[in-house]
């Protein structure tokens, strides 16, 4: 993450959400506002990047004469976890709210639009978005330029979690450590060091009431071994490396429960590609399938 600019992966994620909302049926995840936070120059740059990658990895398809939106959809297929993880987090948040949770902390929020899409929750849910100061400043500017108004239950918390603890960040917000909260940590763990991840888990545990929940996605560590890399994962690694935000970390899925327990969490769910296929992709005809190396997990503070 460069100090002076917003995250490029946040822009790419918003683009994928917007493209899926506009062109996919049925929809894995519906984000009606993601496109409003992007400008035409950014859209053009993302599409150029994707089509160049498609021409490199699948030249026959690139020259097939298929519609531009169809080709972009194929190019985005390897990033489909972006949609599944957002749907998973918001579904689990809804369940937690039914159980009385009234605080939602989005760690590494990027250009997430949940608070903007759900103004109806302002009397039931306090939302705190944490992200790098450059990304968060960019997001607030984009919201203004789109003519949108941040709802009163949304609180921004600029922070660099490589330099300060989650507890320190939360102490500057209306967050109440005495009440259970729901945390999402999406598209983040793979870009951090192991030490930073463990420090964040420790800080989250220390500043959360029992029963709080954390949803996150991660890369299975074994996928990083060259002999295990699928073509799809290899392209994903190349994409994020080319935009200057390389993936460097993966959890060992076979030891995830023990690793979380050591930090004071109980693993509730760990969804691999087979489980994701059943939940998010069954009966699709557009070729979208789970990213084989990406997993979705949910844990509770004990």
pLDDT attached to residue 6: 65
Q: What is the dihedral of CA 23, 26, 28, 31, to 10 degrees?
A: 50
Residue appearing with tokens 């994928």: 16
- 178 prior amide bond cis, ω within 30: no
Cα–Cα dist 141/137, whole Å: 6
pLDDT number for residue 34: 98
Contact 216, 184 (CB under 8 A): yes
What does the pLDDT read at residue 287? 79
The dihedral over CA atoms of 85, 89, 90, 94, expressed in degrees to the nearest 10, equals 150
**Structure tokens given for 174:** 């209306």
- This prediction has a pTM of 0.93
- Residue 85, Cα to own-chain centre: how many angstroms? 6
- Those residues whose C-beta lies under 8 Å from the C-beta of residue 275, and which sit 6 or more positions away, are none
| pLDDT for the residue 283 | 84
pLDDT by residue for the chain (302 residues), tens digit each? 444 456 788 999 999 999 999 999 899 999 999 999 999 999 999 999 899 988 988 899 999 999 999 999 888 887 889 999 999 999 999 999 999 999 999 999 999 999 999 999 999 999 999 999 999 999 999 999 999 999 999 999 999 887 889 999 999 999 999 999 999 999 999 988 898 899 999 999 999 999 999 999 999 999 888 888 777 777 777 778 877 788 889 999 999 999 999 999 999 999 999 999 999 998 888 878 888 789 999 999 99
- What pLDDT, on the 0 to 100 scale, is given for residue 2? 45
């Amino acid at each position: 993450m460069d100090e002076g600019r917003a995250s490029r992966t946040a822009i790419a994620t918003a683009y994928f959400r917007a493209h899926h909302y506009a062109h996919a049926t049925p929809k894995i995840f519906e984000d009606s506002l993601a496109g409003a936070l992007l400008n035409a120059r950014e859209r053009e740059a993302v599409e150029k990047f994707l089509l160049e990658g498609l021409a490199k990895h699948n030249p026959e398809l690139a020259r097939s004469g298929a519609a531009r939106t169809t080709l972009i959809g194929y190019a985005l297929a390897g990033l489909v976890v972006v949609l599944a993880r957002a749907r998973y987090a918001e579904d689990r948040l809804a369940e937690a709210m039914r159980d009385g949770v009234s605080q939602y902390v989005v760690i590494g929020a990027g250009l997430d639009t949940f608070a903007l899409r759900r103004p109806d929750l302002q009397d039931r849910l306090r939302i705190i978005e944490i992200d790098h100061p450059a990304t968060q400043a960019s997001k607030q500017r984009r919201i203004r330029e789109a003519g949108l108004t941040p709802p009163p239950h949304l609180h921004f918390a600029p922070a660099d979690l490589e330099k300060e603890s989650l507890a320190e960040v939360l102490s500057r917000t209306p967050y109440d450590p005495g009440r259970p909260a729901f945390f999402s940590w999406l598209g983040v763990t793979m870009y951090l060091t192991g030490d930073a991840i463990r420090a964040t888990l420790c800080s989250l545990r220390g500043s959360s009431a029992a029963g709080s929940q954390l949803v996150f996605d991660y890369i299975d560590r074994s996928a990083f071994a060259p002999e295990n890399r699928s073509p799809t994962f290899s392209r994903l690694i190349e994409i994020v490396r080319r935009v200057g935000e390389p993936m460097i970390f993966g959890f060992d899925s076979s030891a995830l429960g023990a690793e979380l327990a050591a930090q004071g969490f109980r693993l509730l769910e760990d969804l691999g590609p087979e489980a994701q296929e059943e939940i998010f992709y069954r009966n699709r005809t557009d070729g979208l399938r789970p990213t084989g190396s990406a997993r979705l997990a949910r844990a509770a503070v004990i």
